[in-house]
Amino acid sequence: MSFQAYIDNIKAKTGKTPADFKALAEKKGFLANGELVKSIKATEITNWLKDEFEIGHGHAMAIYASFKGKTE
Burial letters for 34-55: b for 16+ Cβ neighbours within 10 Å, e otherwise? eebeeebeeeebbebbeeebeb
Which residues on adjacent β-strands are paired with residue 31? 36
Is 39 a domain residue? yes
Is 72 a domain residue? no
Model pTM above 0.75? yes
Is 34 a domain residue? yes
User: How many folded domains does the chain comprise?
Assistant: 1
Is 11 a domain residue? yes
Residue 70 pLDDT:
77
Structural domain range at position 16: 3-67
- Looking at this protein, which amino acid is placed at residue 43? T
Is 56 a domain residue? yes
Block means of pLDDT (10 residues each) for the chain, 72 residues, are: 89 95 97 94 97 96 91 60
Residue 1 pLDDT:
74
Residues in CB range of 8: below 8 A, 6 or more apart: none
The answer to whether 5 and 72 are in contact (CB under 8 A) is: no
Is 33 a domain residue? yes
Is 43 a domain residue? yes
Is 54 a domain residue? yes
